[in-house]
Amino acid sequence: MLSIDPLNLDSFMLDEVRAYLRLDQDAEDTSLGAILLAAIVHAESFTRQIMIRRTVREIMPSSSHWQRLSASPVAAVVAVAGIPAEGSHFAMDESHYTARIDADGDAYISVRRAGSAGRIEVTYQAGLAASWSDLPESLRLAILRMTGHLHLYRDNDGDAGPPAAVAALLRPWRRMRLSA
């Protein structure tokens, strides 16, 4: 089970979207924010990477075998908690597990001493950039263009789908996985 904290929009992000869309300052932040979040989710789904760093919590079996964390790219593993069949969660000491992050931002975890934990909850930070302004320009532009597309077609049945330029900007960032 994977849980990703919601992204908090700041005024800088909304101001940049307003400027890109040539909207007045009076544009409703709530609907504009929802459209921006939808564009970010689109980019994350297409690239299979979290754009802006946030906290992720993932529950997985407690195992001595290496298990890959689902979200990427991982910046840091913050904590691991043991989940027993009965009773409450307990914090696991760092000596009871090993976490490894490779150069691509994929993270792996192995539990050396599980104690009574049949499952573990791993809390970690994942995302390509620490903030909107740290995001590479091509990704910011793809998100802005997708936001513009969603804004333009918000009440229109004639939407033919995202512009090809959005996919072209996102494609170099797309991560593919081969399964065995």
Residue 175, by phi and psi: left (phi above 0), alpha (psi -120 to 50) or beta?
beta
Q: Which of 126, 148, 163 is the last residue of a domain?
A: 126
Residue 75: which domain range?
A: 54-126
> 46 with 135, same domain?
yes
Domain boundary among 87, 105, 126: 126
Confidence class for position 153, pLDDT limits 50, 70, 90? confident
Residues 45 and 58 in one domain: no
Question: In this structure, how many other beta carbons lie within 10 angstroms of the beta carbon of residue 145?
Answer: 19
Domain assignment present for 151: yes
Q: What is the pLDDT of residue 121?
A: 96
Query: Whose structure tokens read 């490779």?
Result: 102
Q: Tell whether the model's pLDDT for residue 26 goes beyond 80.
A: no
pTM for the whole structure: 0.88
Q: How far apart are CA 104 and CA 101, in angstroms?
A: 8
